[in-house]
Chain A
Amino acid sequence: MIALLTRDLRLAVRAGGGFGLGLAFFLIVVVLVPFGVGPETALLGTIAPGILWLGALLACLLSLDRIFALDWEDGSLDLLATAPLPMEAVVSVKALAHWLTTGLPLVLATPLFALLLSLPGAGYGPLVLSLLLGTPALSVIGTFGAALTVGIKRGGLLLSLLVLPLYVPTLIFGAEMARRGAEGLDTTTPLLMLAGISCGTIALLPFASAAVLRVNLR
């Protein structure tokens, strides 16, 4: 499992691996928003939690189709399926690698981007915590979507159509927690719900992902 993880991380940071693309996309979204809604600090501060959550979510979405597509094309997936690793482990490691290369950098960069959108001072902690809790769920759900569409040529658009509705609960609780934090309200309920969604998806969804991947390989 560690071999697979290190290989995926190494592939991501090598040339053409796409590492950093999500982060750049996130930055562009954050830069474009003031052009769209105007430069007023008060307005930007109000919508900052939502914009940052949406930006992070879309940045996650961008790199989903790479999770399995490359391994599918070069035959690695067939070989992994006959390897001693159970498919569930392969899927989980893939999701973890996706989170480490996409989700985690987004979480770390968020405070900087929040500065650009004049997020109120109280909002930084809850925002980063909500993304830290929520992005693993985004990666795991996205891995399920990627496993569903791996056999489909040009499945990128379909992947978005399938995955975005599944992102709704995570987005609602995550953005709600960030918003409440920015307004200085209690964040316990959305925090617990968000943590629950992440734990639930991490524990259960890999079984579904592995099942659909096996179907796609046959």
Chain B
Amino acid sequence: MTVHVSDLTVTRGGVAVLEGLSFALRPGEAVVLRGPNGIGKTTLLRTVAGLQPARAGRVEAPPESMVYAGHADGLKATLTVSENLTFWARVFGQGAIGPALDAFELCPLADRQAGALSAGQKRRLGLARLLVTGRPVWLLDEPTVSLDVDAVALFADAVRAHLAGGGSALMATHIDLGLAEARVLDVAAFRAAAPDAEDFDEVFL
């Protein structure tokens, strides 16, 4: 279940933003992406998730091993918390949602409509979705946005349990989760060089 990223170049709007990225994400390991805003962390995560093609390099991962959680939680306001979770569990071919509700303390809210939740509660529901997918590799984009201190601790516990169970996580976050296993990868070092003006091929630059 190791994800190998080798010599990856990712593009945003047709222009390379990060290049020459190589790293491996092994079971039980968490990699935290750091770097200033706009450097391309989201683009990198989406590329690794297979949502957008890489210009160069490879992402090697076992099929159907990854689950992506972006800025939006993918919640339906008119469905209840448990209906939302059950839907994702069924899409990923999994069964019970109880453990996921427990892990993010959502049990008291289970029958509330998702539209009536606070921002932090929605985020917790969005993160609980990761647990019901049963996928070993988590790709997380700013997972702790709008979470309070207690909820961040819940999330850190969930990640720790996930890693202990042989899972792995690649996340872009600025908050220190206190994960001993986490390795920091500063992507600023891989910022793509501005393309050469004479190189008129390919992208008209």
Chain A directly contacts chain B within the complex, with at least one CB pair under 8 Å:
yes
Which of A8-16, A50-58, A162-170 is the contact stretch? A8-16
> Which residue from A11, A80, A81, A82 sits with its C-beta under 8 Å from B78?
A11
Q: Give chain A residues whose Cβ lies under 8 Å from the Cβ of B68.
A: 78-79, 82
Taking a contact as CB atoms under 8 Å apart, the answer to whether B87 and A75 are in contact is no
Q: How far is the CB of B34 from chain A (nearest CB, A)?
A: 23
Q: Does A41 contact B (CB under 8 A)?
A: no
- How far apart sit A84 and B67, CA to CA, in the bound complex (Å)? 10
Taking a contact as CB atoms under 8 Å apart, the answer to whether B78 and A74 are in contact is no
> Which residue from A2, A73, A83, A218 sits with its C-beta under 8 Å from B52?
A218
Q: Does B178 contact A (CB under 8 A)?
A: no
Q: Assuming the A-B contacts A75-B72, A75-B74, are A4 and B79 also in contact, with contact meaning beta carbons closer than 8 angstroms in the complex?
A: no
- The listed residue with most B CB atoms (<10 A of its CB), out of A3, A16, A76, A79, is A79
Q: Does B203 contact A (CB under 8 A)?
A: no
- How far apart sit A85 and B133, CA to CA, in the bound complex (Å)? 13
Taking a contact as CB atoms under 8 Å apart, the answer to whether A83 and B72 are in contact is no
Q: How far is the CB of A77 from chain B (nearest CB, A)?
A: 8
Size class of the contact patch on chain B: 20 to 34
Q: Give chain B residues whose Cβ lies under 8 Å from the Cβ of A16.
A: 78
Q: Does A217 contact B (CB under 8 A)?
A: yes
Q: Assuming the A-B contacts A79-B68, A82-B66, A82-B67, are A74 and B91 also in contact, with contact meaning beta carbons closer than 8 angstroms in the complex?
A: no
> Which residue from A3, A74, A85, A218 sits with its C-beta under 8 Å from B53?
A218
Q: Does A20 contact B (CB under 8 A)?
A: no
Q: Does B92 contact A (CB under 8 A)?
A: yes
Which residue of B has the minimal Cβ distance to A16? Answer: B78
Q: Give chain B residues whose Cβ lies under 8 Å from the Cβ of A17.
A: 78
Q: Considering only CB atoms and an 8 Å cut-off, how many residues of chain A contact the other chain?
A: 25
Annotate A181-218 by CB proximity to B: 1 below 8 A, 0 otherwise: 00000000000000000000000000000000000011
- The listed residue with most A CB atoms (<10 A of its CB), out of B46, B49, B64, B91, is B91
Q: Does B50 contact A (CB under 8 A)?
A: yes
Annotate A74-106 by CB proximity to B: 1 below 8 A, 0 otherwise: 111011111111000000000000000000000
Taking a contact as CB atoms under 8 Å apart, the answer to whether B87 and A7 are in contact is yes
> Which residue from B51, B64, B87, B129 sits with its C-beta under 8 Å from A3?
B87
Q: Assuming the A-B contacts A82-B66, A82-B67, are A75 and B79 also in contact, with contact meaning beta carbons closer than 8 angstroms in the complex?
A: no
> Which residue from B51, B72, B88 sits with its C-beta under 8 Å from A218?
B51
Q: Give chain B residues whose Cβ lies under 8 Å from the Cβ of A80.
A: 91
- How far apart sit A71 and B11, CA to CA, in the bound complex (Å)? 24
Within 8 A of B (CB), among A1-47: 2-4, 7, 10-11, 14-17
- The listed residue with most B CB atoms (<10 A of its CB), out of A11, A76, A80, is A76
Which residue of B has the minimal Cβ distance to A2? Answer: B90
Q: Does B17 contact A (CB under 8 A)?
A: no
Q: How far is the CB of B196 from chain A (nearest CB, A)?
A: 25
Q: Give chain A residues whose Cβ lies under 8 Å from the Cβ of B50.
A: 82
Taking a contact as CB atoms under 8 Å apart, the answer to whether B73 and A14 are in contact is no
Q: Give chain B residues whose Cβ lies under 8 Å from the Cβ of A76.
A: 72, 74-76
Taking a contact as CB atoms under 8 Å apart, the answer to whether B79 and A78 are in contact is no
Q: Give chain B residues whose Cβ lies under 8 Å from the Cβ of A85.
A: 91
Taking a contact as CB atoms under 8 Å apart, the answer to whether A14 and B78 are in contact is yes
Q: Assuming the A-B contacts A80-B91, A82-B50, A84-B91, are A10 and B72 also in contact, with contact meaning beta carbons closer than 8 angstroms in the complex?
A: no
Q: Does B93 contact A (CB under 8 A)?
A: yes
Can you list 12 A-B contacts (CB < 8 A)?
A2-B90, A4-B91, A11-B79, A71-B74, A74-B76, A78-B70, A78-B74, A79-B74, A80-B91, A81-B51, A82-B67, A85-B91
List of 4 A-B pairs having minimum Cβ-Cβ separation, nearest first: A75-B72, A3-B90, A218-B52, A76-B74
Q: Measuring CB to CB, which residues of chain A are less than 8 angstroms from any residue of chain B?
A: 2-4, 7, 10-11, 14-17, 71, 73-76, 78-85, 217-218
